[in-house]
């Protein structure tokens, strides 16, 4: 590329700020890149900064090219490719830092800053949490300050002060940015392959083994939205059943068609309902046939059927947004009479696993006799008081997974608790099964719907109790009640030292803020857009409508901004104001001040035109001239007198 | 190509003044207001917009709302910078123009006095092909000196001046034209060489007796030196008597430069010769008078006198 020779070189401040911007980009990308690459790039950045400051020379091409090659090799060596999110970002950040080696002119700096902005945005593809977004937004400050520093002739300011105007600019931009954010039409389907391949994120699986929910629980994408005909159920009742799992092989729970396993046709479980709820579900594509339903559905919707366990199964996998309406029982007796075959299934455990669990269960059975409820309570008490901890990153479990969990690690999340609880129950002879689905969700009061995310995925147990049928037991709630009352946002890790009350309350508050961010910003999608606009009577939220609203809103903001820009703080001088008043009065009498006519000439002319008031006008003129020219500042008393004289002056036109 | 475009632009401005916002010369002070400030995005601004669109598409595609928010924030900040660019020029006033002195063909230093009620940064002024950046501090005034190319002697109208800025982010360029209704006087170019002025016969003979006033050097005391020429302080320092030696100026006749004596020469050649003589007289510190048709100038010396003579010469028809 030919370099224009007449361009000046970057001054020191601009280059410092440019380096700072690049350091910010490197910093926000550091968490998801190999540490040695980050360290090497930071070293290159630091050396280049020092070198330019010290010597001010350009690095030789012989140094730049090998570094470039080294970067490409390093990326390919680490990731095996240069395409994709991770290698792409590593390459981009590397190139940005290397760009510093040849940034000498304002033009280079502008190009660098542009791509630094892109790099900042790219960092959000990895983590769009509140803190991450805030940190990334802070990276805009040095970027804007660099652009400012490229302009010539400005008052010198210290480095921190140089960052402030950018902050003010961003603050002024917030209203328009929020408007654009709220109204930009969202894409219904991606234009190109999404960052994390969609196949890997299909939501709930029909198998459950400890650990495979982790990806779901950190996935903030919506799973479904539910709007209720009546009031929504209380938060702790928002259990959406998807899969009922009976089969356990010591490691994995499996949803399987029991017809095949049992060799006989099973009947639909009987349901005695005492209170139902009608609701509509918008299910995001899952590529699976299961349709989550609140508690126990009464009947299947069209194109779907009920399994014997009252799971709703669609005839074909859900590949696009699906809407269905269901009636569900909220208070019920499910299967009050348990058939013998089903009981056998609900007690089946693999042989030779988890001896300590079996021993504990046998002990409970001996202590409580035939009181199944007491055994359930004993297990819940164990989870509540036994030093169990809720974490999304539990220690791995060995072959006797339940033993290891109950007597060893004692840390895990819903599927660990559901799985071990069910195994405990079966070992104690209480018929039980694992149910997975979603629990919680965010109630959108604007849109009147419950937003359920992948991160609301949950697993719990159902035990069959005499006279009550299948009863839902959520062992996770015994350990972490907030998981049920607050939802997935409360499901973070809880390190041991954070159990003091003030830290816990701080964490809870932080959870709420995060929750707000997650729900208000990250989850703001097409449906929420509609929810935002319906109160204003706008039902159609198509792209055209949104585009129009966006245009109107933007014009409004631009108009306000233009008004600000055009507004001038005019402090009219009182003397001038008084003279203007006099001029206005004389103009009404037909004596208009000509362009370029001085006050003396003008008032003399007026005196000639109004002979009756010659004396008065001449006094006014003399007073004005004295006020204007005799002193640096008009004397206040004289000024007041002049103003009064002007007020009292009434030109009387003489008819000639 | 560039020149052709320039000519086309000039033609368009003359033919379509309403469309091209061509301004006739106007009296000072010239205050910039919204009716005469124009804004377009710079090349960098267009590139940045493209980048924002890419960022928008990316964040929408990955339905990443945080990235979308960042993109919107950056875009809105860019849009706000347009208003700041406008405000950087709005209300800026060209109070007056001071012209320096130059002979034709040499650049003339033009000092523009700009005023503003509030401080401003990074404003640039284009005049001919030169550009100067300036800032206005809290005092509200700035002087910008630019070289103005000159071609011929005489009154030369000021060209249009472009005031522009890309403050604060370089995304938008706001500009305005100022065309001050003022002319500057360009002195005639002296001829390269030629005969010296003819001196009046009696002038060279008059003896000059007065001693020079300027101190030339200190020398050893010689008997007979007047007492008041002894440098007492220096003598005390060195321990021997020193005398102040005063320059003896050679007797230098006064030049009477006369238009009428250059009969038979062409007008401009006469002016060029007189200009050279004036220059020589000024360089030698010689007293001179100048007679021009209709405006005789008394003898004198010094820069003021020289400027007066040159200006009179320049404004000859």
Is A148–B66 a contact, with Cβ atoms under 8 angstroms apart?
no
Chain A contact present for B46, CB below 8 A: no
State how far the Cα of A29 lies from the Cα of A31, in Å rounded to an integer.
6
State how far the Cα of B100 lies from the Cα of B143, in Å rounded to an integer.
13
Chain B contact present for A85, CB below 8 A: no
Q: Is the predicted pLDDT of residue B124 greater than 80, yes or no? A: yes
Chain A contact present for B131, CB below 8 A: no
% residues pLDDT > 90 (chain B):
21
> What is the set of active-site residues of A?
414, 458, 474
Residue B256 CA: distances (Å) to CA of A548, B200, B248, B261:
83, 8, 24, 10
Q: Is the predicted pLDDT of residue A234 greater than 90, yes or no? A: no
Let me know: does A473 contact A444? Beta carbons within 8 Å: no
Chain B contact present for A133, CB below 8 A: yes
Is A152–B133 a contact, with Cβ atoms under 8 angstroms apart?
yes
Is A566–B90 a contact, with Cβ atoms under 8 angstroms apart?
yes
What phi and psi values does residue A562 have, to the nearest 5 degrees?
-65, -40
Distance from the Cα of B129 to chain A's closest Cα (Å) equals 13
**Which of the residue ranges A124-133, A312-321, A484-493, B297-306 would you say has the lowest mean pLDDT?**
A484-493
Three-state SS for A462?
A: strand
Mean of pLDDT values over A449-476: 87
Mean pLDDT over each residue of chain A, to the nearest integer:
82
How many Cα atoms occupy the beta-carbon half-sphere of A421 within 13 Å? Answer: 35
Let me know: does A307 contact A313? Beta carbons within 8 Å: yes
Angle between helices A130-138 and A12-29 (to 10 degrees): 160
Which of A25, A135, A180 to mutate against chain B (most B CBs within 10 Å)? A180
Is B84–A125 a contact, with Cβ atoms under 8 angstroms apart?
no
The answer for residues whose C-beta is within 8 angstroms of residue B139's C-beta and 6 or more apart is: none
pLDDT of residue A504: 56
Which of B29, B169, B181 to mutate against chain A (most A CBs within 10 Å)? B169
Q: Which of B62, B69, B84 sits opposite A177 (nearest CB)?
A: B69
Q: How many pairs of residues across A and B have Cβ atoms under 8 Å apart?
A: 166
State how far the Cα of A18 lies from the Cα of A146, in Å rounded to an integer.
6
Neighbour order of strands in the sheet with B38-41: B38-41, B172-178, B161-165, B120-127, B130-136
Contacts of B134 in chain A (CB under 8 A): 153
State how far the Cα of A149 lies from the Cα of A395, in Å rounded to an integer.
51
Q: Is the predicted pLDDT of residue A442 greater than 60, yes or no? A: yes
Is A154–B121 a contact, with Cβ atoms under 8 angstroms apart?
yes
State how far the Cα of A627 lies from the Cα of A634, in Å rounded to an integer.
5
For B:100-119, CB contacts with A below 8 A are 117, 119
Distance from the Cα of B159 to chain A's closest Cα (Å) equals 24
CA nearest neighbour of A25 among A11, A48, A42: A42
- Confidence category of residue A495, pLDDT binned at 50, 70, 90: very low
Contacts of A191 in chain B (CB under 8 A): 57, 60-61
Is B73–A136 a contact, with Cβ atoms under 8 angstroms apart?
no
CA nearest neighbour of B144 among B184, B182, B108, B111: B111
- Confidence category of residue A213, pLDDT binned at 50, 70, 90: confident
- Confidence category of residue A501, pLDDT binned at 50, 70, 90: low
Mean of pLDDT values over A249-254: 86
Is A137–B119 a contact, with Cβ atoms under 8 angstroms apart?
no
Chain A contact present for B145, CB below 8 A: no
Q: DSSP assignment of A330-363, as one string?
A: SSEEE-SS--HHHHHHHH---TT--HHHHHHHHH
**Which of the residue ranges A5-19, A51-65, A448-462, B212-226 would you say has the lowest mean pLDDT?**
B212-226
Contacts of B66 in chain A (CB under 8 A): 124, 128-129, 132-133, 136, 521-522
State how far the Cα of A253 lies from the Cα of A420, in Å rounded to an integer.
11
Mean of pLDDT values over A230-244: 88
Contacts of B65 in chain A (CB under 8 A): 128, 181, 521-525
Q: Is the predicted pLDDT of residue A426 greater than 50, yes or no? A: yes
CB neighbourhood size of B154 (10 A)? 19
Tens digits of residue pLDDT in A262-296: 555 677 888 888 888 899 888 877 878 889 999 88
Tens digits of residue pLDDT in A92-113: 999 999 998 888 889 999 999 9
Mean of pLDDT values over A390-399: 79
CA torsion sign for B232, B238, B239, B244 is: negative
Mean of pLDDT values over B35-41: 88
For B:16-35, CB contacts with A below 8 A are 34
Q: Please give the DSSP secondary-structure letter assigned to residue A131.
A: H
Contacts of B167 in chain A (CB under 8 A): 148, 151
For A:140-199, CB contacts with B below 8 A are 140, 144, 147-148, 150-155, 165, 169-170, 172-178, 180-181, 184, 186-187, 190-192, 194-195
For A644, the token pair is: 């009064």
The answer for residues whose C-beta is within 8 angstroms of residue A292's C-beta and 6 or more apart is: A204, A223, A224, A240, A241, A242, A281, A283, A312, A437, A438, A452
Q: Is the predicted pLDDT of residue A574 greater than 50, yes or no? A: yes
Q: Which of B73, B91, B167 sits opposite A151 (nearest CB)?
A: B167
Mean of pLDDT values over A446-450: 70
Mean of pLDDT values over B83-112: 90
CA nearest neighbour of B79 among A526, A183, A14, A179: A179
Q: Which of A120, A128, A153 sits opposite B122 (nearest CB)?
A: A153
Contacts of A527 in chain B (CB under 8 A): none
The answer for residues whose C-beta is within 8 angstroms of residue A549's C-beta and 6 or more apart is: A183, A533, A538
CA-nearest residue to B85 within chain A is: A565
Distance from the Cα of A195 to chain B's closest Cα (Å) equals 6
- Confidence category of residue B248, pLDDT binned at 50, 70, 90: low
pLDDT of residue B205: 47
Three-state SS for A567?
A: coil
Tell me whether the omega of the peptide bond preceding residue A483 falls within 30 degrees of 0, making it cis: no
Distance from the Cα of A5 to chain B's closest Cα (Å) equals 16
CA torsion sign for A217, A218, A219, A224 is: positive
% residues pLDDT > 90 (chain A):
22
Chain A contact present for B75, CB below 8 A: yes
SS3 for chain B is CHHHHHHHHHHHHHHCHHHHCCCCCECCCEECCCCCCEEEECHHHHHHHHHHHHHHHHHHHCCCHHHHHHHHHHHHHHHHHHHHHHHHHCCCEEEEEEECCCECCCCEEEEEEEECCCCEEEEEEEECCEEEEEEECCCCEEEEEEEECCCCCEEEECCCEEEEECCCCCCEEEEEEECECCEEEEECCCCCCCCCCCCCCCHHHCCCCCCCCCEEEEEECCCCCCHHHECHHHHHHHCCCEEEEECCCCCCCCEEEEHHHHCCCCHHHHHHHHHHHHHHHHHHCCCEEEECCCCCEEEECCHHHHHHHHHHHHCCC
% residues pLDDT > 70 (chain A):
86
pTM for this entry: 0.64
pLDDT of residue A394: 78
CA triplet B103, B105, B109: central angle to 5 degrees? 65
Q: What is the CA radius of gyration of chain A?
A: 37
The answer for residues whose C-beta is within 8 angstroms of residue A499's C-beta and 6 or more apart is: none
Distance from the Cα of B121 to chain A's closest Cα (Å) equals 5
**Which of the residue ranges A459-468, B88-97, B238-247, B298-307 would you say has the lowest mean pLDDT?**
B238-247
Chain B contact present for A137, CB below 8 A: yes
Mean of pLDDT values over B253-276: 83
Q: Is the predicted pLDDT of residue B62 greater than 70, yes or no? A: yes
pLDDT of residue B206: 47
Residue B3 CA: distances (Å) to CA of A5, A541, B7, B10, B169:
21, 53, 6, 10, 31
Contacts of A195 in chain B (CB under 8 A): 62, 64
Question: What ipTM was estimated for this complex?
Answer: 0.78
**Which of the residue ranges A325-329, A535-539, B50-54, B131-135 would you say has the lowest mean pLDDT?**
A535-539
Tell me whether the omega of the peptide bond preceding residue B94 falls within 30 degrees of 0, making it cis: no
Centroid of chain to Cα A11: 38
Centroid of chain to Cα A590: 68
pLDDT of residue A564: 85
Chain B contact present for A566, CB below 8 A: yes
Contacts 24+ apart (CB under 8 A), A211-215: A211/A394, A211/A396, A211/A415, A212/A415, A213/A413, A213/A414, A213/A415, A213/A457, A213/A459, A214/A392, A214/A393, A214/A413
β-pairing, B288-291 with B255-258?
A: parallel
Mean of pLDDT values over A78-96: 85
pLDDT of residue A345: 84
CA-nearest residue to A196 within chain B is: B62
Mean of pLDDT values over B89-113: 89
Chain B contact present for A549, CB below 8 A: no
The length of chain B in residues reads 317
- Confidence category of residue A179, pLDDT binned at 50, 70, 90: very high
Q: Is the predicted pLDDT of residue B1 greater than 60, yes or no? A: yes
pLDDT of residue A496: 40
State how far the Cα of A378 lies from the Cα of A427, in Å rounded to an integer.
14
For A:571-630, CB contacts with B below 8 A are none
Q: Please give the DSSP secondary-structure letter assigned to residue A528.
A: H
Three-state SS for A419?
A: helix
């Amino acid at each position: 590329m030919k370099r224009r020779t007449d361009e000046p070189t970057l001054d020191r401040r601009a280059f410092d700020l440019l380096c700072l911007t690049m350091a910010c980009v490197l910093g926000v990308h550091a968490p998801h890149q190999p540490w040695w690459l980050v360290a090497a790039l930071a070293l290159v950045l630091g050396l280049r900064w020092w070198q330019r400051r010290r010597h001010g020379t350009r690095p030789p091409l012989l140094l730049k090219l090998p570094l470039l090659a080294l970067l490409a090799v390093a990326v390919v060596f680490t990731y095996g490719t240069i395409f994709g999110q991770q290698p792409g970002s590593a390459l981009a950040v590397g190139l940005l830092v290397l760009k510093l080696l040849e940034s000498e002119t304002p033009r280079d700096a502008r190009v660098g800053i542009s791509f630094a902005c892109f790099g900042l945005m790219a960092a959000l593809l990895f983590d769009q949490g509140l803190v991450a977004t805030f940190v990334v937004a802070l990276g805009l400050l040095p970027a804007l300050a660099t652009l400012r520093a490229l302009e010539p002739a400005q008052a010198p300011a210290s480095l921190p002060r140089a960052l402030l105007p950018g902050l003010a600019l961003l603050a002024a931009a917030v209203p328009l940015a929020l408007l654009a954010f709220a109204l930009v039409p969202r894409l219904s389907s991606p234009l190109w392959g999404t960052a994390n391949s969609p196949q890997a994120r299909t939501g709930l699986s029909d198998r459950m083994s400890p650990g495979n929910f982790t990806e779901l629980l950190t996935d903030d994408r919506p799973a479904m939205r539910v709007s209720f005909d009546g009031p929504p159920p209380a938060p702790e009742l928002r259990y959406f059943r998807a899969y009922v799992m009976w089969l356990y092989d010591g490691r994995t729970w499996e949803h399987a068609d029991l017809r095949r396993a049992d060799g006989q046709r099973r009947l639909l479980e009987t349901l005695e309902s005492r209170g139902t709820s009608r609701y509509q579900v918008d299910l995001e594509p899952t590529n699976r046939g299961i349709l989550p339903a609140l508690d126990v559905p009464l009947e299947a919707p069209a194109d779907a059927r009920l399994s014997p366990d009252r799971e709703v199964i669609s005839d074909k996998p859900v590949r696009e947004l699906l809407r269905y309406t269901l009636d569900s029982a909220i208070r019920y007796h499910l299967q009050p009479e348990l058939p013998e075959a089903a009981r056998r299934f609900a007690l089946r455990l693999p042989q030779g696993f988890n001896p300590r669990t079996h021993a504990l269960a046998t002990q409970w059975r001996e202590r409580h006799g035939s009181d199944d409820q007491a055994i359930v309570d004993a297990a819940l008490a164990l989870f509540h008081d036994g030093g169990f901890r809720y974490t999304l990153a539990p220690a791995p479990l060995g072959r006797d997974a339940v033993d290891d969990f109950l007597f060893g690690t004692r840390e895990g999340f819903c599927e660990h608790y559901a799985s071990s609880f069910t195994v405990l129950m079966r070992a104690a002879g209480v018929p039980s099964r694992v149910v997975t689905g979603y629990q919680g969700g965010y109630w959108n009061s604007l849109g009147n719907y419950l937003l359920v995310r992948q991160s609301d995925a949950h697993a719990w147990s159902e035990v069959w109790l005499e006279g009550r049928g299948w009863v839902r037991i959520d062992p996770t709630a015994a350990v972490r009640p907030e998981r049920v009352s607050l939802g997935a946002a409360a499901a973070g890790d809880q390190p041991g030292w954070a159990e003091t009350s003030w830290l816990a309350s701080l964490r809870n508050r932080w959870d709420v803020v995060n929750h707000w961010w997650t729900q208000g910003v990250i989850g703001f999608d097409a449906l929420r857009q509609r929810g935002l606009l319906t109160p204003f009577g706008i039902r159609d939220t198509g792209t055209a409508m949104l585009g129009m609203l966006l245009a109107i809103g933007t014009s409004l903001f631009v108009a306000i901004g233009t008004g600000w820009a055009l507004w001038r703080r005019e402090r009219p001088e009182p003397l001038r104001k008084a003279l203007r008043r006099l001029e206005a009065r004389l103009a009404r009498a037909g004596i208009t001040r000509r362009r370029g006519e001085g006050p003396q000439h003008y008032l003399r002319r007026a005196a000639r035109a109004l002979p009756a008031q010659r004396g008065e006008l001449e006094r006014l003129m003399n007073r004005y001239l004295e006020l204007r020219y005799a002193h640096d500042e008009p004397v206040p008393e004289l000024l007041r007198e002049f103003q009064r004289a002007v007020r009292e002056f009434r030109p009387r036109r003489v008819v000639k | 190509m560039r020149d052709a475009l320039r000519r086309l632009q000039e033609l368009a401005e003359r033919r379509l003044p309403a469309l091209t916002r061509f301004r006739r010369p106007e009296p000072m002070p010239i205050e910039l207001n919204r009716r005469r400030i124009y804004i377009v995005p710079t090349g960098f601004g267009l590139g940045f917009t493209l980048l924002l669109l890419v960022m928008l598409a990316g964040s929408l595609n990955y339905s990443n709302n945080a990235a979308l928010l960042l993109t919107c924030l950056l875009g809105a900040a860019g849009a706000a910078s347009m208003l700041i660019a406008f405000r950087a020029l709005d209300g800026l006033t060209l109070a007056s123009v001071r012209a320096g002195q130059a002979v034709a063909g040499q650049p003339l230093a033009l000092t523009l006095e700009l005023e503003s009620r509030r401080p401003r940064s990074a404003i640039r002024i284009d005049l001919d092909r030169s550009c100067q950046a300036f800032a206005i501090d809290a005092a509200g005034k700035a002087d910008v000196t630019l070289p103005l190319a000159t071609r011929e002697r005489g009154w030369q109208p000021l060209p249009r001046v472009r005031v522009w800025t890309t403050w604060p982010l370089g995304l938008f360029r706001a500009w305005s034209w100022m065309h001050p209704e003022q002319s500057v006087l360009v002195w005639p170019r002296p001829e390269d060489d030629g005969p010296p002025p003819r001196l009046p016969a009696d002038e060279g003979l008059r003896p000059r007796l007065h001693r020079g006033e300027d101190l030339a050097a200190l020398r050893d005391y010689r008997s007979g030196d007047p007492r008041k020429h002894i440098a007492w302080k220096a003598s005390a320092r060195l321990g021997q008597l020193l005398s102040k030696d005063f320059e003896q100026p050679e007797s230098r006749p006064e030049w009477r430069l006369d238009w009428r004596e250059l009969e038979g020469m062409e007008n401009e050649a006469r002016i060029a010769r007189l200009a050279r003589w004036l220059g020589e007289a000024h360089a030698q510190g010689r007293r001179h008078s100048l007679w021009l048709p209709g405006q005789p100038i008394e003898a004198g010396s010094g820069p003021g006198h020289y400027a007066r003579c040159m200006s009179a010469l320049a404004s000859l028809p």
